[in-house]
A and B are shown apart, each in its own frame.
Chain A
Amino acid sequence: MKYLDEFRDSELARSLLAEIREMTTRPWALMEVCGGQTHSIIRNGLDQLLPEKIELIHGPGCPVCVTPLALIDQALAIASRENVIFCSFGDMLRVPGSEKDLFRVKSEGGDVRVVYSPLDAVQLARQNPGREVVFFGIGFETTAPANAMAVKLAKQLGLKNFSMLVSHVLVPPAIAAIMTSPGNRVQAFLAAGHVCSVMGYWQYPPVAERYRVPIVITGFEPLDLLDGIRRTVAQLEAGKHFVENAYERAVTEVGNVAAQRVLAEVFEETDRAWRGIGVIPLSGWRLRPEYRAFDAAHRFDVSGIRTEESRDCHAGEVLQGRMKPNECPSFGTKCTPRKPLGATMVSSEGACAAYYNYGRFVALAATR
């Protein structure tokens, strides 16, 4: 794919890095919102190439990380039922509930399947009319349109055996929650490019104005990220705070209007618990009442399952940038990628898992 190579060019990366180094005079704390950005930063080693004064705080934009324990337990309860085909994106399978994960449910005889699109789950429901097909509908505004389409399609097809366990979360309320949280250290945001390709960025100028914080819509390739960081630092250094689009090839101000229409038709805003953070008002989507028949939590009556998070897990403070993963007392002892307490240690995008792997690497850093 030619168009990707262009955004991985090492020469251009070096010149952007030089520019960032030159313009940085003070310490700045930037948050990249999306887990995909965190992944790309770690994968390309960007964090080590930036000037020391620039700190990247890994934000709460990893859907695997912020899905609350109670919802995972609900999913496990549904997936364990006879006659259910439980469909999920791959990386949710390893996320621990309070006692087990979906892999374990599968080994115990549950019919758990990895799908690549919720529409595949709708297809499974058509092919298996005698069985209940449930899709685990999590994620941000990026995965939501396909999920909305799947529910809409199931309704059009009159499917009685398809439902979705929905726990969608939204970026703008999370940004507001971070800015108002006591002890917040975030001074600017690299907004999540793919969320904005769906939703546009018309929601952000009031946020930037209200909290006096630069917001730069940023992509995922190394050059995208460096350009986003460069523009963010330029604003901070100049004492400015406005919304900038550094991901023009994918994002427009209005976003994908057709997708937004379907979203509004199928989902409505609701308060949502974020794992490790707590409830953020109006920060999620749930199915509208007219789609209630497709709500798996309702159909399988699991909404009573409420689970407490581990007290030893400080994922919330990590996700808000108030604690570094290695400052957590459980880090690397009670909590490792093999036995994670919180989801930030589970996902390959999770801040704690990234630190766990990076922290062991101090020996090399010292020799450089």
Chain B
Amino acid sequence: MAKNFEGLALESPNFEGWSCPLPLRDYPYIVIGHGGGGKLSSELVEHLFLPAFRNAALENLSDSSVIEVPAGRLAFSTDSFVVQPLFFPGGSIGDLAVNGTVNDLAMSGAKPLYLSAGFILEEGLSLSTLAGIVDRMASAARRAGVAIVTGDTKVVEKGHGDGVYINTAGIGVIPAGIDIGPSKAQPGDAVILSGTVGDHGMAVMSVREGLQFETVIESDCAPLHGLVAEILAAGEVHALRDPTRGGVASTLNEIAAASAVGVLLEDSRIPVLPDVQSACDLLGMDPIYVANEGKLIAIVAASSAGAVLAAMRRHPLGQRAERIGEVTANHPGLVVTRTAIGGTRVIPMQLGEPLPRIC
């Protein structure tokens, strides 16, 4: 089935700060030649990617970029982005591509510095859509204080991709003295969540499947390393994770398994926006399994819980932070929650995608 990529764009791309790519006008759509390494490829780089991402390392246009890093430990991460639609309320594949990798680096306690960006473009993608995505990436990178220093573009035949896939890899530096990881949770630790859950997943789902809710749910897509820096400065932190696909439930199961501890939550303390809760109720989904792109879970020593929570709430991305539970020596490997009316239930790892239920 032919796809109209413009039709998928929900909001008009934002061309803020983007210079008119005059030579590209001859080809308003991506053709195979844009990935061929010839004149069309270099025009795309010169008139679209370079102006958006401009920085000294990138401008060399060499086979690899040469960058300076301080001495010490590095964090290194990669992630690929295949979201549909390409634009959704509160973000785009471009925002995700930058923030996703920035956040993965931040969860090691790193200050993110450099990103790479690989684009797999589908023949027929309009250049204005691509420009819109690249523009969103550029502004996300500026907001996060990272430089996109190397990149690559390939074009696949029409029907072999969903418009655009993006891979980003990133490098960050870990400040001396930081040693955190999902296997370092200890019984007695507090589990702190930085804000409302399920916003991103329901934002995408609400526009993807032709579901029309009365209100617009916006993705929470945001870079978290600033919040992480505040958390690390506030107290004794053992683990940080961003609960993306699989949501809070899967992330906590992973921590429970990696640290061989149990996690006990309080259902009523997990913040959920009313619109997200309603959409989940409608589809028979549980918000704690739904993806987030701008939230984190901090596992911190109980003695630091108050200070960390206060520091998070002072940060714009942690205003609705809550202490949602604790790490326990009971039931190692299991995540258990106390329900609002006083019962308990196990929160198992989810097998695959969350599926809307029939009734």
Which one of A39, A92, A357, A367 contacts B346 once the chains associate, using CB atoms below 8 Å?
A357
How would residues 224 to 238 of chain B score, 1 for a CB under 8 Å from any chain A CB and 0 otherwise? Answer: 000000000000000
Identify which of residues 123-144 in chain B touch chain A, using a CB-to-CB cut-off of 8 Å.
Answer: none
- Complex Cα gap A367–B328 (Å): 12
How would residues 283 to 302 of chain B score, 1 for a CB under 8 Å from any chain A CB and 0 otherwise? Answer: 11010000000000000000
Identify which of residues 111-160 in chain A touch chain B, using a CB-to-CB cut-off of 8 Å.
Answer: 114-116, 120, 128, 138-140, 142-143
Task: Quote the shortest CB–CB distance from B64 to chain A (angstroms).
Answer: 36
Which one of B211, B336, B341 contacts A44 once the chains associate, using CB atoms below 8 Å?
B341
For the A-B complex, the count of residue pairs with Cβ-Cβ distances under 8 Å equals 115
B262 interface residue (CB < 8 Å to A): yes
User: Which B-chain residue is minimally distant from A136 (CB atoms)?
Assistant: B358
B281 interface residue (CB < 8 Å to A): yes
User: Which A-chain residue is minimally distant from B342 (CB atoms)?
Assistant: A49
- Complex Cα gap A358–B211 (Å): 33
**Chief secondary structure at chain B's binding surface:** loop
B331 and A4 within 8 A (CB): no
A10 and B358 within 8 A (CB): no
A10 and B342 within 8 A (CB): yes
A360 interface residue (CB < 8 Å to B): yes
Write out the residue numbers on chain A whose beta carbons fall within 8 Å of the beta carbon of B70. Answer: none
With A360-B346, A363-B331 already in contact, the answer to whether A91 and B341 are too (CB < 8 A) is no
Task: Quote the shortest CB–CB distance from A252 to chain B (angstroms).
Answer: 20
Write out the residue numbers on chain A whose beta carbons fall within 8 Å of the beta carbon of B343. Answer: 44-49
Which one of A143, A338, A357 contacts B358 once the chains associate, using CB atoms below 8 Å?
A143
B355 and A94 within 8 A (CB): yes
- Complex Cα gap A207–B143 (Å): 66
A357 and B348 within 8 A (CB): yes
How would residues 318 to 359 of chain B score, 1 for a CB under 8 Å from any chain A CB and 0 otherwise? Answer: 000000000000110010101111111110100110011111
A367 and B330 within 8 A (CB): yes
User: Which A-chain residue is minimally distant from B358 (CB atoms)?
Assistant: A89
User: Which A-chain residue is minimally distant from B347 (CB atoms)?
Assistant: A357
User: Which B-chain residue is minimally distant from A85 (CB atoms)?
Assistant: B1
With A94-B351, A361-B334, A361-B346 already in contact, the answer to whether A45 and B357 are too (CB < 8 A) is no
Write out the residue numbers on chain B whose beta carbons fall within 8 Å of the beta carbon of A238. Answer: none
- Complex Cα gap A142–B358 (Å): 10
B331 and A91 within 8 A (CB): no
User: Which B-chain residue is minimally distant from A367 (CB atoms)?
Assistant: B330
How would residues 259 to 291 of chain B score, 1 for a CB under 8 Å from any chain A CB and 0 otherwise? Answer: 000100000100000100110010110100000
Write out the residue numbers on chain B whose beta carbons fall within 8 Å of the beta carbon of A92. Answer: 358
User: Which A-chain residue is minimally distant from B268 (CB atoms)?
Assistant: A10
- Complex Cα gap A116–B210 (Å): 9
- Complex Cα gap A222–B341 (Å): 8
Write out the residue numbers on chain B whose beta carbons fall within 8 Å of the beta carbon of A358. Answer: 345-346
With A116-B211, A361-B346 already in contact, the answer to whether A138 and B358 are too (CB < 8 A) is yes
User: Which B-chain residue is minimally distant from A358 (CB atoms)?
Assistant: B346
- Complex Cα gap A43–B337 (Å): 10
A56 interface residue (CB < 8 Å to B): no
B342 and A338 within 8 A (CB): no
With A35-B359, A363-B331 already in contact, the answer to whether A8 and B341 are too (CB < 8 A) is yes
Write out the residue numbers on chain B whose beta carbons fall within 8 Å of the beta carbon of A360. Answer: 334, 346
- Complex Cα gap A103–B355 (Å): 12
Write out the residue numbers on chain A whose beta carbons fall within 8 Å of the beta carbon of B16. Answer: none
Identify which of residues 163-210 in chain A touch chain B, using a CB-to-CB cut-off of 8 Å.
Answer: 194
B26 interface residue (CB < 8 Å to A): no
- Complex Cα gap A358–B345 (Å): 7
B209 interface residue (CB < 8 Å to A): yes
A63 interface residue (CB < 8 Å to B): yes
Write out the residue numbers on chain B whose beta carbons fall within 8 Å of the beta carbon of A10. Answer: 268, 340-342
Write out the residue numbers on chain B whose beta carbons fall within 8 Å of the beta carbon of A235. Answer: none
A364 and B334 within 8 A (CB): yes
- Complex Cα gap A44–B351 (Å): 21
User: Which A-chain residue is minimally distant from B209 (CB atoms)?
Assistant: A116
Identify which of residues 342-359 in chain A touch chain B, using a CB-to-CB cut-off of 8 Å.
Answer: 348-349, 357-358
User: Which B-chain residue is minimally distant from A89 (CB atoms)?
Assistant: B358
A91 and B357 within 8 A (CB): yes
- Complex Cα gap A115–B338 (Å): 33
A93 interface residue (CB < 8 Å to B): yes
B345 and A91 within 8 A (CB): no
A45 and B359 within 8 A (CB): no
With A44-B339, A363-B330, A364-B344 already in contact, the answer to whether A93 and B355 are too (CB < 8 A) is yes
How would residues 152 to 168 of chain B score, 1 for a CB under 8 Å from any chain A CB and 0 otherwise? Answer: 00000000000000000
- Complex Cα gap A139–B351 (Å): 23
Task: Quote the shortest CB–CB distance from A169 to chain B (angstroms).
Answer: 12
Write out the residue numbers on chain B whose beta carbons fall within 8 Å of the beta carbon of A8. Answer: 340-341
Write out the residue numbers on chain B whose beta carbons fall within 8 Å of the beta carbon of A143. Answer: 358-359
- Complex Cα gap A184–B286 (Å): 34
B359 and A90 within 8 A (CB): no
Which one of A13, A114, A194 contacts B342 once the chains associate, using CB atoms below 8 Å?
A13
A1 and B348 within 8 A (CB): no
How would residues 22 to 40 of chain A score, 1 for a CB under 8 Å from any chain B CB and 0 otherwise? Answer: 0000000000001110010
Task: Quote the shortest CB–CB distance from B10 to chain A (angstroms).
Answer: 19
Write out the residue numbers on chain A whose beta carbons fall within 8 Å of the beta carbon of B262. Answer: 364
Most A-side CB within 10 Å, residue of B278, B341, B342, B348 = B341
A337 interface residue (CB < 8 Å to B): yes
Write out the residue numbers on chain A whose beta carbons fall within 8 Å of the beta carbon of B348. Answer: 337, 357
Task: Quote the shortest CB–CB distance from A4 to chain B (angstroms).
Answer: 7
- Complex Cα gap A36–B348 (Å): 18
Write out the residue numbers on chain B whose beta carbons fall within 8 Å of the beta carbon of A36. Answer: 284, 357, 359
B330 and A44 within 8 A (CB): no
- Complex Cα gap A91–B356 (Å): 6
B344 and A48 within 8 A (CB): yes
- Complex Cα gap A367–B358 (Å): 36
Task: Quote the shortest CB–CB distance from A20 to chain B (angstroms).
Answer: 13
A14 interface residue (CB < 8 Å to B): yes
Write out the residue numbers on chain B whose beta carbons fall within 8 Å of the beta carbon of A91. Answer: 355-358
Write out the residue numbers on chain B whose beta carbons fall within 8 Å of the beta carbon of A89. Answer: 356-358
A64 interface residue (CB < 8 Å to B): yes
Instruction: Pick 7 A–B contacts, CB within 8 A, sort by A.
Output: A8-B341, A49-B342, A89-B356, A94-B351, A337-B348, A360-B346, A363-B330
Q: Which 7 A-B pairs have the closest CB atoms?
A: A45-B343, A90-B355, A13-B341, A90-B356, A364-B331, A45-B339, A89-B358
Q: A36-B284, A89-B358, A120-B210 are in contact. List 10 more A-B contacts (CB 8 A).
A: A13-B341, A34-B359, A36-B359, A39-B357, A43-B286, A90-B357, A94-B352, A103-B352, A114-B209, A348-B357
